[in-house]
Amino acid sequence: MKRKTQTKTKKEKNIVFLDGEYVYKENAKVSIFDHGLLYGDGVFEGMRSYNNLCFRLEEHLDRLWESAHTLMLEIPYTKKQLQDIVIKTLQKNKLKDAYIRLVVTRGSGDLGLDPRKCKKPTIFVITDKIVLYPDTLYKEGIEIITVPTVRNHPEAVNPSIKSLNYLNNILAKIEATTAGYLDAIMLNHQGYVSECTGANIFIVKDGQLLTPPSHMGALKGITRQAILDNARDAGLPNEERALTRHDLFNADECFLTGTAAELMPVVKIDNRIIGLGKPGKITSKLTTAFKKLTKVEGVKYSL
């Protein structure tokens, strides 16, 4: 049955895009035989809009296409068409500042693993607000720990693929929250620092900005790249380098980056105070530079 396109009302506030139509979130349904649900077979992107500017939307779509290509998952839209869909979903919800979730699943099939049984991908776009951390933590910083769950081996599930299968990260998140922490550091199979459960990690040491490379298990984050770009523009020495916990413990500064979290200062790791135990000067400068970047980079839209 064809879903009816609907407009926003006071009673039902959120509209999502689902397989070619815009429907209220209450009516947005996918099959229980969808392989995205059954097996985590699919890809996604989390994006942000700032004052009617969808930050680095083109870069997000490029990464989505690369992830899908590796999974041999064909997206039945062009990048320009998906860009327009994202913008239209924001407009329908009258959101100038929002978090955006774009998802492409393998689609509905049978109970077997064979992706050839799924004839058509499922695609949906959600736009809404998101708040991961209270404002006080951005001023004071957070404490995190290292957890036993290691990052997926890069030759098992490549970290450059932003897939729907987040169980590896979820297990680490469970360990963090059970211990009373908001986030956790994940090491790779060699014992090197990879990333946190949903964010990349940076340290500052002797005036140099350092972050783990992707082959160590780190996602090539869009915010991560924006920070590296800002650092280079500012003449701040930076490098992608293998890092150990010892490197983190003895850093002058530390912070996390992610689309939802933006830049989050870290002041203690595994009960070791980092630097002066408060957000550092370089972290603050990079935060300011990032906020400026979100005002000028991206795809502009009107409401």
pLDDT in the model for residue 33: 98
pLDDT in the model for residue 2: 43
- Confidence band for 5, pLDDT divided at 50, 70 and 90: very low
pLDDT in the model for residue 8: 46
Reported as type and span, the H/E element at residue 262 is: strand 262-269
Q: What angle do CA 13, 131, 126 make, to 5 degrees?
A: 40
Q: Two tokens at 129? A: 């607000």
Residues 128-152 have a mean pLDDT of 95
Catalytic residue among 92, 162, 220, 292: 162
pLDDT in the model for residue 219: 96
Distance (Å, rounded) from C-alpha 155 to C-alpha 165? 15
pLDDT in the model for residue 131: 86
Domain at 135-293, CATH class: alpha beta
pLDDT in the model for residue 282: 98
Model confidence over 223-233: pLDDT tens digits?
999 999 999 99
pLDDT in the model for residue 61: 98
CB atoms under 10 Å from CB of 133, counted, come to: 15
Residues of the chain with CATH 3.30.470.10: 15-128
Residue 80: is it exposed, middle or buried by C-beta count within 10 angstroms (0-12/13-18/19+)? Answer: exposed
Query: What is the value of pTM for the model shown?
Result: 0.93
Question: Is 15-128 a domain of CATH 3.40.50.300?
Answer: no
Distances in Å between the alpha carbon of 69 and those of 43, 56, 154, 283, 292?
Answer: 10, 20, 17, 35, 33
Average of per-residue pLDDT values in the chain: 95
Model confidence over 26-73: pLDDT tens digits?
999 999 999 999 999 999 999 999 999 999 999 999 999 999 999 999
Residues 147-165 have a mean pLDDT of 95
Model confidence over 267-290: pLDDT tens digits?
999 999 999 999 999 999 999 999
According to DSSP, residue 108 is labeled: B
Catalytic residue check, 8: no
Is pLDDT above 80 for 9?
no
Distance (Å, rounded) from C-alpha 98 to C-alpha 53? 10
Residues of the chain with CATH 3.20.10.10: 135-293
Question: Helix H segments across 153-302?
Answer: 167-178, 222-233, 245-249, 281-293
Model confidence over 184-230: pLDDT tens digits?
999 999 999 999 999 999 999 999 999 999 999 999 999 999 999 99
pLDDT in the model for residue 11: 52
Is pLDDT above 60 for 3?
no
